Structure 1
């Protein structure tokens, strides 16, 4: 874990034990795992939809649709 050392991890476990008790922790872990799994599944579904969708091409900035520019000169 980035940024959390062994001492920080132990402190988190102790706080979790005090807040939820030893009997509730396995249930919370399972619920967290299910939530994380569903989130990943949803994120992968969104990524697959974006890859499958046809890509749009912005033709407004294309040089083919621009009008040719004429050069104006001042009379000499």
Structure 2
């Protein structure tokens, strides 16, 4: 299910969370985690968009041809 975590381990984790935070705090905790994840996703999308814009600018700009110097061995 979650990598190497089985159903019994998941139930133990949920019971511990319930005991530590209580039934009234769990919805607040879930909302906070959800907000944090959505903000992280939004920031990651902004970074991806900026990188794509920079990449498009680089590919649109023509490159100057490289000059090769000819050296004589005489």
Query: Smaller-chain TM-score range?
Result: 0.7 to 0.9
Identify if the C-alpha distance between structure 1 residues 41 and 67 changes in structure 2 by more than 3 Å, giving closer, same or farther. Answer: same
TM-score by length of 2: 0.73
Q: Distance in 2 between matches of 1:23 and 1:2?
A: 29
Tell me the number of residue pairs that the alignment of Structure 1 and Structure 2 aligns: 68
| Correspondence for 2:53 | 52
Runs of 4+ displaced beyond 2 Å = 64-72
Gaps of 5+ in 2: none
Gaps of 5+ in 1: none
Choose between structure 1 and 2: higher helix proportion: 2
